[in-house]
Amino acid sequence: MTFPRPEEVLPHRAPFLFVDEILELVPGESARGRWRLTGDEWFFAGHFPGRPTLPGVLMCESIAQMGAIAVLAGGTAGGRLPLFGGLDAARFRRQVVPGDELILEVTLGRMSSRAGKGSGRALIGDAVACECDLMFVLVDA
């Protein structure tokens, strides 16, 4: 089964697109994708010189982008855009460095015409690097 490219679903563009590939998609319910970190990303130069580390907040953003793919692909957003409304229970379990490949997984929970919730995680292999609960609001695009 083939899925759309992330940029065909999301309005995000480089350098702020943190999903390279959609691996699984159940529109309006869940999504799974991949983000390959090459080391050439803009944030590694300053975070941290000599010990490049993916900022935790960008891991949460990549999970949120995967959630936005699940929302937008469902067609129920009605031309609206999901924006962060909140982030709960974020936990960072391991350092992510250049060369790592994050597998991003999101399951959507309660949704209304104005907002929704979901939970997700970023994995390296079988190891959880980050997990969090997301809240989003739908705004006019």
Per-residue pLDDT tens listing for the chain (141 residues): 799 999 999 999 999 999 999 999 999 999 999 999 999 999 999 999 999 999 999 999 999 999 999 999 988 788 899 999 999 999 999 999 999 999 999 999 999 989 999 999 999 999 999 999 999 999 998
Q: Is 12 considered catalytic here?
A: no
Catalytic residue among 12, 34, 47, 93: 47
Q: Which domain holds residue 130?
A: 6-140
Q: What is this structure's pTM?
A: 0.97
Whole-number Å distance between alpha carbons of 21 and 24 = 9
Number of domains in the chain: 1
Residue 94 counted as domain residue: yes
Residue 1 counted as domain residue: no
What is the C-alpha R_g of the chain?
14
Please report, as a single letter, which amino acid is at residue 87.
L
**Cβ–Cβ < 8 Å for 99, 47:** no
Whole-number Å distance between alpha carbons of 141 and 133 = 24
